[in-house]
Amino acid sequence: MYKTPASLLLAIAAVLLSPQVRAQQVAAETPQTMLSAQIRAQGFTCDKALGAVRDNKRSRPDRAVWVLKCSNATYRVTRAPDMAARVEPLP
């Protein structure tokens, strides 16, 4: 029988348990989770984010406009760099 050297097993374990490999396994943040977290921080309720769609007609290069659908409400969220989001509840 062939025995695997302990140093080879240690190297394989180090690669598999490295922070870079574990970081790749974390789910990517989606626009709906990012937007829902932002409006919650600003005092709006969003029980569960169901989806987010960018409103290309209202968006500009320096200002992104999104329609965020939550389980309890729908919001239009306008985001600009280094500013709080402008949140409008939609009917």
Tell me how far apart the alpha carbons of residues 52 and 25 are, in angstroms, rounded to a whole number: 23
The residue written with tokens 């394989």 in the block is 12
The string of pLDDT tens digits covering residues 5-25 is 667 666 776 666 666 655 555
pLDDT score recorded for residue 20: 62
Return the exposure string of 13-39: e unless at least 16 CB atoms fall within 10 Å of the residue's CB, then b: eeeeeeeeeeeeeeeeeebbeebbebb
The secondary structure of 48-74, three-state, reads CEEEEEECCCCCECCEEEEEEEECCCE
The string of pLDDT tens digits covering residues 28-83 is 789 999 999 999 999 999 999 999 999 999 999 999 999 999 999 999 999 999 99
The pTM score is: 0.69
